[in-house]
Amino acid sequence: MRVLVLGSGGREHALVRALHRDPAVTDLHCAPGNPGTAEIAANHAIDMLNPTAVVELARRLTIDLVVVGPEAPLVAGVADAVREAGLACFGPDKAAARIEGSKAFAKEVMQAAGVPTARARVCDTSGQAEGALSEFGPPYVVKDDGLAAGKGVVVTDDMGAAMEHAAACDRVVIEEFLDGPEVSLFALCDGQDAVPLVPAQDFKRAYDGDAGPNTGGMGAYTPLPWAPPGLVDEVMDTVIRPTVNELRRRETPYVGVLYAGLALTSRGVRVIEFNARFGDPETQVVLDRLATPLGGLLQACALGGLAADQRLAWHPGAAVTVVVAAENYPASPAKGDVITGLDEANAVPGAYVLQAGTALDADGRLVSAGGRVLNVVGSGADLAGARAAAYEAAGKIRLRGSHHRADIALKAVEA
């Protein structure tokens, strides 16, 4: 199988790494990729938001399967163009990708499917926003209706800050606050059936103790020892399958991975959001644990051959990932700083480094090129061992001004 992965971040490096380990994948490409993916795949410098360029590349490389990593190409209709060209594609078409591209559309689908979620109001004016905020009260939850690279949500007790965020967006969805711990669950879908992966938890706030602004994610871990028994089956029955069925009813069958961001509230499971792609950085730990070859699974989704009763195989133990972020992330991250210590980090038993916001400078040195620069993954027999490996490896990396959270998976280990 010849596979092309679209994207350039840590999620795509994790996907490429997992596909590289699949013996059925004989040729592996990434566009545009990063210096990390270049070590195990052939990188191609194209605009992944350009459907024509993607199709031309896939045809030239005689690709059997295109895997779309980020959300932006999906919303831009890249998957539509790939399928129209007669090529297999893992990733929803433009219409189905609205489940992430528009928070208002996602709420509409959830309401029609009977999916449990927060009460919400769609607001186009400041007056509507002020009314909705007053109705729900603090903590205020304000979501940009469109794509915002994981940073379009503000949760605050400050009415002024909530209104400021609403004013900065063309359209917002304002919701009631959901209490309880958050869980991420991915389900692989072929338009009709869906198979779950293991749940994970990520950490959105920039600093320890869930302080600071929201980010794209500062770390993640799996498994979740505190999760209630039967959680995955409940979510599949009340969230994933009803949503897939509703999209199929609308003649927009969902092919790809459906990400459900969940809150385990005092009133039961509630959906916080849907994403139309693998979440980052949860993908890094979930794929670390996956023992079933990834290429065959993604191809089965693309071709409509996923078995609803398929049971995936998982490596025993646990995985933890720690995000090393650039100076001043998430506000205006510094770029161009030299990164060293990756060889030492990769030499730590049970640990390895995935590259995210990296590039090579004119002298061939690895430098920072984004906010979330590296994902350091640790695996072990349990969360304590995985966490120790991840943090030992993270301590080997040198990047001027960088920062990372020190408490990823800490509460789960202590409990």
pLDDT value, residue 164? 86
Is the torsion defined by CA of 229, 233, 238, 244 positive or negative?
Answer: positive
Q: What is the pLDDT of residues 177-233, one digit of tens each?
A: 888 999 999 999 999 999 999 999 999 999 999 999 889 999 999 999 999 999 999
Rounded average pLDDT over 129-152:
81
- Residues above pLDDT 70, as percent of the chain: 99
For residue 205, give the H/E element and its range: strand 205-207
- Decide: 333 and 326 in contact? Cβ < 8 Å: yes
User: In 309-365, at which residue ranges do the beta strands (DSSP E only) sit?
Assistant: 318-325, 339-340, 351-355, 358-360
Phi-psi region of 361 (alpha: psi -120 to 50; beta: other; left: phi over 0): beta
CA max distance for the chain: 57
- The rounded mean pLDDT for the chain is 94
Confidence of residue 375 (pLDDT cuts 50, 70, 90): very high
Give the ranges where 280-362 is alpha helix by DSSP (H): 282-289, 294-303, 342-346
- Decide: 178 and 272 in contact? Cβ < 8 Å: yes
Please tell me the distance from the alpha carbon of residue 273 to that of residue 71, in angstroms, as a whole number. 14
Q: Which residue has the higher pLDDT, 243 or 104?
A: 243
pLDDT value, residue 158? 85
Cα angle 409, 405, 210 (rounded to 5 degrees) comes to 75
* N- to C-terminal Cα separation, the chain: 44
Give this prediction's pTM.
0.93
Q: What is the pLDDT of residues 300-342, one digit of tens each?
A: 999 998 887 788 999 999 999 999 999 999 999 999 999 999 9
Cα angle 344, 349, 350 (rounded to 5 degrees) comes to 115
Confidence of residue 72 (pLDDT cuts 50, 70, 90): very high
- Decide: 367 and 360 in contact? Cβ < 8 Å: yes
Rounded average pLDDT over 150-177:
84
Residue (of 276, 277, 273, 275) closest to 117 by Cα position: 273
Composition of the chain by helix, strand, coil, percent to 5: 30, 30, 40
Q: Is the pLDDT of residue 157 over 80?
A: yes
DSSP-assigned beta bridge partners for residue 174? 121, 142
Rounded average pLDDT over 357-381:
97
Residue (of 91, 88, 2, 6) closest to 43 by Cα position: 6
Q: Which residue has the higher pLDDT, 91 or 133?
A: 91
DSSP-assigned beta bridge partners for residue 200? 184
How are beta strands 65-68 and 88-90 bridged, if at all? Answer: parallel
